[in-house]
Copies of this chain bind each other. A is one copy, B any other.
Amino acid sequence: MRATLLYGAGDVRVEDVPDATISAPSDALVRVTRSCICGSDLWPYKSKDPDAPGQRMGHEFIGVVEDIGSEVTTVRKGDVVVAPFVFSDGTCAYCHEGLHTSCVNGGFWGVGDVDGGQGEAVRVPQADGTLVVLPVPVDDALMPSLLTLSDVMGTGHHAAVRAGVREGSTVAVVGDGAVGLCGVIAAKRLGADRIIILGRHQVRTDLAREFGATDVVAERGKAAVARVKELTGGEGAHAVIEAVGLGESLETALRIARPGGAVGRVGVPQTGDIPGAQLTFLKNVTVSGGIAPARAYIDELLPDVLEGRIEPGRVFDRTIGIEEVPDGYRAMDQREAIKVMIAP
């Protein structure tokens, strides 16, 4: 089958790999019908050591169940399913607490002998705990929005939850990529009164406004902090969503948080330390967030997608076939596209 591998910075290829097959009784075999490229894929795309082995890519997908192992009970052949970006057993203490990303039997797509999502098929470990059946046909018009439940919408939601967004909150979102845009959707959905997005790409900030952003701050660094303070009567935002991961963006997020507020960080950190140990101490600003347990949120978000109350699929502004994946990476890296969907 065809699948995506990353060999080095800028060097992504679609190649023949061994066909995905069931290998454990808890596996399912899923034929991928939709997948996509993640902003977090761009970090290794920029930096991967070319001497390390090629790495299977992709961790967001929807597909049709083609086969199941003997122990699988919650999905059947022919089911249309969505997979979160971490697989999990659904039964351990962490899964019961909604922290599926810390599942004791969980893991990441594309690691070891586990397939990546940017390919024709995937062996899904822990199928019962991982997959969620979608009550729609495989070519449903909602596919883009349903696909975001794999990661980007759940990640934006996680940031909003961990930042403590509630009815009436003033929220700031640092970053206008697909996660930041989904953070806007999540903040609006949780009742935020005011949503300030920090970004400078008008196509994206225009979409943010359609999703519910009330203010756009194009400045960066100190100027951005000053502008957010000005917009909030000198106080800052109750809840800040950090959707980039760089040290500078995290520092901006901490500086624009109101005393007693919180930062929900979901940008994969490209920094070793969290800045502002003293600043956050004096302001009692909580730093929360992390890798989003997308599986935990699918049940809650799915009805809103199915009934059209949220449209996170609008973050996809380009659709390509599997052979065009290298160009999809290039387009996202060069900010030609917000987020690229892969359809067979």
Of A250, A268, A281, A289, chain B has the most CB atoms within 10 Å of the CB of A281
Give the residues in chain B near A287, CB-CB below 8 Å.
274, 280, 286-288
Q: Mark A257-286, 1 if CB is under 8 A from B, else 0.
A: 001101001001101111111101111111
Q: Is the CB of B274 within 8 A of A277?
A: yes
Q: Is the CB of B288 within 8 A of A283?
A: no
Q: Is the CB of B289 within 8 A of A284?
A: yes
Alpha-carbon distance A273/B277, docked complex (angstroms):
5
Give the residues in chain B near A99, CB-CB below 8 Å.
259-260, 284
Give the residues in chain B near A276, CB-CB below 8 Å.
273-274
Q: What is the total number of residues of chain A having a CB less than 8 Å from a CB of chain B? A: 34
Given contact pairs A102-B259, A288-B286, A277 touches B269 in the complex (Cβ within 8 A): yes
Chain A, 293-344, CB within 8 A of any chain B CB:
293
Give the number of times this chain occurs in the complex, counting copies.
2
Distance in Å from the Cβ of A30 to the closest Cβ of chain B?
Answer: 26
Alpha-carbon distance A293/B291, docked complex (angstroms):
31
Give the residues in chain B near A285, CB-CB below 8 Å.
290
Is A97 interfacial (CB-CB < 8 Å)?
yes
Give the residues in chain B near A272, CB-CB below 8 Å.
275, 277-278
Chain A, 242-259, CB within 8 A of any chain B CB:
250, 259
Q: Mark A94-131, 1 if CB is under 8 A from B, else 0.
A: 10010101100000000000000000000000000000
Give the residues in chain B near A284, CB-CB below 8 Å.
99, 101-102, 162, 288-291, 293
Alpha-carbon distance A204/B274, docked complex (angstroms):
32
Distance in Å from the Cβ of A224 to the closest Cβ of chain B?
Answer: 20
A-B contact pairs, 24 of them (CB 8 A): A94-B260, A101-B259, A101-B282, A102-B260, A162-B286, A265-B281, A269-B277, A269-B278, A272-B275, A273-B273, A273-B274, A273-B277, A274-B274, A274-B276, A281-B290, A281-B291, A282-B291, A283-B290, A284-B290, A284-B291, A284-B293, A286-B287, A286-B288, A286-B289
Q: What 20 new A-B contacts, CB under 8 Å, besides A281-B291, A285-B290?
A: A94-B260, A99-B284, A101-B284, A102-B283, A272-B275, A272-B277, A273-B273, A274-B275, A274-B276, A274-B287, A280-B290, A281-B289, A281-B290, A282-B291, A284-B291, A284-B293, A286-B287, A287-B287, A287-B288, A288-B288
